[in-house]
Amino acid sequence: MFIHIDIDSFFISAERTINPKLLNIPAAVGSRSNLEIFNKQRDHTKLMNINSGAFVTPVFHNSHKRTFENYFIDKINGKDKIRGIITTASYEARACGVKTAMPIAKALQLCPNIVIVPSNYPLYHRLSRELYLYMQKNIPEVEQYSIDEFFGNLSGWIDENEILQFAKNLKQDIFNKFKIPVSIGISHSKYIAKLATNHAKPFGVYLVKNQQEFIKDIPIDKFPGIGKGFSKKLKAFGIKNLGDICQSKKLLYSWKKPGIELYNRICTQNYGIINHKEPQKSIGLSRTFDAIDDFNEIKRRVNIIARYLSYMANKAEVNPRRFELKIYFKNGTKQKQSISTNRLFSEQILKEEFTKMLQKMWVQKRGGVVKLRANITSFSNINRTTPNLLNIADDNKNRKLDKALSKLRDIYGLDIIKRGDEH
């Protein structure tokens, strides 16, 4: 049997552990695109531990004290403009219509008495990690699926007749130790256990007794892993509910691996394994901002993103061989450039290649740029990389410089030293 543990409204629940005034009222955590990395003055931004497994995307933080006023409100022409979106809303706030990804300004219109606090990722990271370590001590096999979700395999360890009570005890013990409410779904299938958690919320436990009966009327769009494209394909064959999938085994199996995997996840008993952390396959960073039509400013921002990516690659001890840069325009269009290389990776090389890509895309630019996205992929182990003999001297010199800079940035923040191309 599998259990799926989902922290209820995690970010706001975490905030309530340090601020009891947020309990039992409409409350939410908000965030906004972190544009502080583009500031020309020095700050003390640091990177959370990217190897912890708690986050899919990199999280940066600094020591600046955030308040609603200094974080969400911008002064524009002498007037206050509220920026940012809702990241997590309490159930009291949801009752007012407040939803995740809703603009904060709209949330305040719907729920004038809502209390919105700035995100505090170091707190969420610490709690998530502590919960994971706790579960490792209490469950034989545990998988951290996301910052606020975990899977556990109880097969052969807890008698099936005792699993419901075990889950109830686990839920209460987590609350007693961490002051964090969780909901737990239980099923013979790992993936159906995740669906069952939706029936357990908030702060409940739900056991799927009859898998086929439970899933038969659930719309396919509710199942994690069915994207828009696959959903459209299923609906073209008249498949609308998960029960329909179980009646279409021959069709799903004819679609080879994707169809077979989907059928098994939904319809097969005792299906699923606990996945342990896989090696990181890419590192990416993106930022959205008001439209900018100045090439030099966009180039400066690309170079800053390159510095951040280089630092992360150095911490992960990988040698990226493929670089990708994408720019998004105000009119909704976008352009992308990429390159593969066998050079020994360094901040200098990444900046040079990103600049070349940007110059090519700028020729066909379509108005102001509103978003930048960069990725480095195709990793090899930095200690096992065969250097390009034509550039070995320069590449080794750049790598030594990166290591020295990385040590300083570990202590003083990523902005302690900036190169001339970022000013």
**Rounded to an integer, what distance in angstroms lies between the CA atom of residue 310 and that of residue 131?**
31
DSSP 62-125: -SPPP-HHHHHEEEETTEEEE--EEEEE-HHHHTTT--TT-BHHHHHHH-TT-EEEE--HHHHH
Question: Which token pair is 377?
Answer: 């992929």
Q: What's the gap between Cα 368 and its chain centre? A: 27
State the Cα angle at 128 between 126 and 133, rounded to 5°: 95
DSSP category for residue 184 = E
Which residue do the tokens 């996840």 mark? 265
Query: Of 15, 36, 69, 149, which is the active-site residue?
Result: 149
Contacts of 245 (CB under 8 A, 6+ apart): 220, 234, 239, 252, 262, 263, 266, 267
Neighbours of 148 (CB within 10 A): 23
Q: At what angle do helices 392-412 and 295-316 cross, to 10 degrees?
A: 90
The CA dihedral of 62, 64, 65, 66, to the nearest 10 degrees, is -80
At 288, which helix (H) or strand (E)? strand 282-292
46, 61 contact by CB (below 8 A): yes
Q: Beta strand 2-7 with 182-187: parallel, antiparallel or unpaired?
A: antiparallel
The reply to whether 352 belongs to the active site is: no
Question: Which token pair is 419?
Answer: 């190169």
The CA dihedral of 31, 36, 38, 44, to the nearest 10 degrees, is -140
Which residues are marked as active site? 149
